[in-house]
């Protein structure tokens, strides 16, 4: 699959989703757009994990809940390994441990490996549990033979890995595996990778086992200054991890924004001017532990400024807009999404930053539609 010069992550996602639909390479659920594709041949690809010594040695394996990874979850249960599955959108914690009933039949184990089985046969794992994951298996939309990975744009795999690092559940040498169709293995420019992007050590397809030899360091923790207030509110375990790290010097930009009544010293903390929020549901992490410190105390924040973005195509998603804004270097402090039929509201640190964003976003397109970008009247009148 050829990719044009200047390609973005969203371009790659769209190309693969379109190709898999046009070639009928996917099973339910369809269409595959905005999903980790459940591709035809996924069970065969999952079976290839048996060839990895890392799987043979592992005792605890974390496998994402994506449909194409169902075969790996089943193999883990059949091999009597401890299977951990992230809770849906991390609403109630980080992991659920799948516990089949005593004397479970093959049919029961198959059910345990499904999303319904995760709900029916699992128990939550708390932060204080002594979990040490030996192998991590994630879904992907695209991956390269070098180990560069692109997810569906919501960033939960990156978030989960960062949280596992924070709770001491993974080590730098813990192998990371992804399972994809052959057509999802493409050339990905390394320049698209950010510090928070999780790389993989093995790629399993229905025909190949690829050992990437990836030497790019994996994320080493959570960059709190890049967690959105909405995410901080939505995911309770993030708040718990923040409270654990805070005595070590992690200052929280979210304390005011997430509903916390600030102390006198906290009231001066604000988000850094150019810190982009992650894509919907995503988290940014950093190799440099100093990046975990959060934004430094600063003087009183200047008045914010507002930019309106409209003219979205039918079916546009907020994750696509966030990705485009980040790639243009115009990520706001906050974004209010009102659906594709109404303008999105972007809040920037100050008028100068908002004007820079308007300039950077000229000519922005989603699909074939050119978006309308303008500074809000209330900002122009300041």
124 to each of 90, 188, 309, how far by Cα in Å?
Answer: 11, 36, 41
* Average pLDDT, integer, range 173-178: 96
> What does the alpha-carbon distance between residue 226 and residue 272 come to, in Å, rounded to a whole number?
9
Question: How do residues 10-62 score in pLDDT, each as one tens digit?
Answer: 999 999 999 999 999 999 998 999 999 999 999 999 999 999 999 999 999 99
Task: Please list, in sequence order, all residues whose beta carbon lies within 8 angstroms of the beta carbon of residue 124, skipping any fewer than 6 positions away.
Answer: 87, 92, 93, 95, 96, 97
Give the pLDDT confidence score for residue 333 in this predicted structure: 87
Among 18-27, 66-75, 292-301, 319-328, which is the least confidently predicted range?
A: 292-301
The DSSP letter of residue 350 is S
For every residue of 26-40, DSSP letters joined together read: B-SS---TTS---BT
Residue among 137, 167, 115 nearest 60 (CA): 137
> What does the alpha-carbon distance between residue 362 and residue 365 come to, in Å, rounded to a whole number?
9
52 to each of 148, 204, 336, how far by Cα in Å?
Answer: 19, 10, 45
For every residue of 38-73, DSSP letters joined together read: -BTTHHHHHHGGGG-HHHHH-SEEEE---GGGHHHH
The answer to whether residue 247 scores a pLDDT higher than 70 is no
Q: What angle do CA 364, 14, 161 make, to 5 degrees?
A: 100
Residue 118 · residue 64 · CB < 8 Å: no
Average pLDDT, the chain: 81
Give the pLDDT confidence score for residue 27 in this predicted structure: 94
Burial class (CB in 10 A: 0-12, 13-18, 19+), 350: middle
More confident residue, 101 or 253: 101
Q: How many CB atoms lie within 10 A of CB 303?
A: 9
> What does the alpha-carbon distance between residue 105 and residue 313 come to, in Å, rounded to a whole number?
49
3-state secondary structure of 256: helix
The answer to whether residue 329 scores a pLDDT higher than 50 is yes
Q: What angle do CA 151, 55, 148 make, to 5 degrees?
A: 25
More confident residue, 79 or 355: 79
Residue 267 · residue 143 · CB < 8 Å: no
Domains detected in the chain: 9-211 (3.40.50.10420), 305-380 (3.30.70.330)
Pairing of strands 82-86, 60-63: parallel
Residue among 79, 208, 87 nearest 134 (CA): 79
- Highest mean pLDDT among 119-133, 250-264, 310-324 belongs to 310-324
199 to each of 140, 143, 144, 306, how far by Cα in Å?
Answer: 11, 9, 10, 36
Q: How many CB atoms lie within 10 A of CB 100?
A: 18
Residue 153 · residue 320 · CB < 8 Å: yes
Among 106-110, 167-171, 178-182, 297-301, which is the least confidently predicted range?
A: 297-301
Give the pLDDT confidence score for residue 69 in this predicted structure: 96
Give the pLDDT confidence score for residue 381 in this predicted structure: 57
Give the pLDDT band (50/70/90) at residue 299: very low
Rounded (10°) CA dihedral 55, 60, 63, 69: 40
What's the pTM? 0.66
Q: What percent of the chain has pLDDT over 90?
A: 41
> What does the alpha-carbon distance between residue 134 and residue 175 come to, in Å, rounded to a whole number?
7
């Amino acid at each position: 699959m050829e990719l044009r010069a200047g390609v973005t992550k969203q371009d790659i996602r769209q190309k693969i989703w379109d190709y898999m639909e046009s070639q009928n390479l996917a099973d339910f659920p369809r269409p595959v757009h905005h999903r980790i594709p459940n591709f035809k041949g996924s069970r065969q690809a999952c079976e290839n994990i048996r060839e990895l010594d890392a799987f043979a040695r592992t005792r605890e394996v974390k496998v994402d809940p994506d449909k194409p990874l169902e075969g790996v979850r089943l193999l883990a249960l059949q091999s009597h390994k401890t299977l951990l599955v992230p809770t849906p959108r991390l609403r109630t914690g980080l992991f659920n441990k799948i516990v089949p009933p005593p004397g479970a039949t093959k049919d029961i184990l198959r059910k345990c490996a499904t999303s319904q089985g995760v709900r029916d046969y699992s128990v939550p794992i708390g932060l204080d549990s002594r979990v040490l994951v030996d192998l991590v298996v994630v879904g992907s939309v695209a991956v390269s033979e070098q180990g560069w990975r692109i997810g569906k744009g919501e960033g939960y795999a990156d978030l989960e890995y960062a949280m596992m690092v924070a709770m001491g559940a993974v080590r730098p040498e813990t192998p990371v595996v992804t399972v994809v169709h052959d057509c999802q293995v493409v050339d990905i420019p390394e320049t698209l990778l950010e510090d928070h992007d999780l790389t993989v050590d093995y790629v399993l397809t229905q025909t190949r086992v690829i050992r990437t030899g990836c030497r790019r360091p994996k994320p080493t923790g959570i960059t709190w200054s890049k967690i959105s207030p909405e995410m901080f509110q939505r995911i309770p375990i993030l708040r718990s991890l923040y409270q654990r790290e805070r005595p070590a010097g992690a200052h929280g930009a979210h304390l005011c924004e997430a509903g916390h009544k600030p102390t006198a010293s906290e009231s001066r903390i604000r988000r850094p001017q150019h810190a982009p929020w992650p894509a919907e549901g995503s988290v940014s992490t950093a190799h440099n532990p100093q990046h975990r410190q959060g934004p430094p105390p600063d003087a009183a924040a200047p008045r914010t400024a507002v930019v309106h973005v409209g003219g979205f195509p039918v079916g546009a998603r907020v994750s696509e807009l966030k990705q485009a804004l980040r790639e243009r270097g115009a990520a706001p402090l906050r974004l209010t999404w009102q659906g594709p039929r109404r303008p999105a509201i972007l809040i920037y640190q100050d008028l100068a930053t908002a004007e820079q964003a308007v300039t950077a976003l000229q000519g922005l397109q989603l699909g074939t539609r050119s978006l309308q970008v303008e500074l809000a009247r209330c900002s122009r009148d300041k």
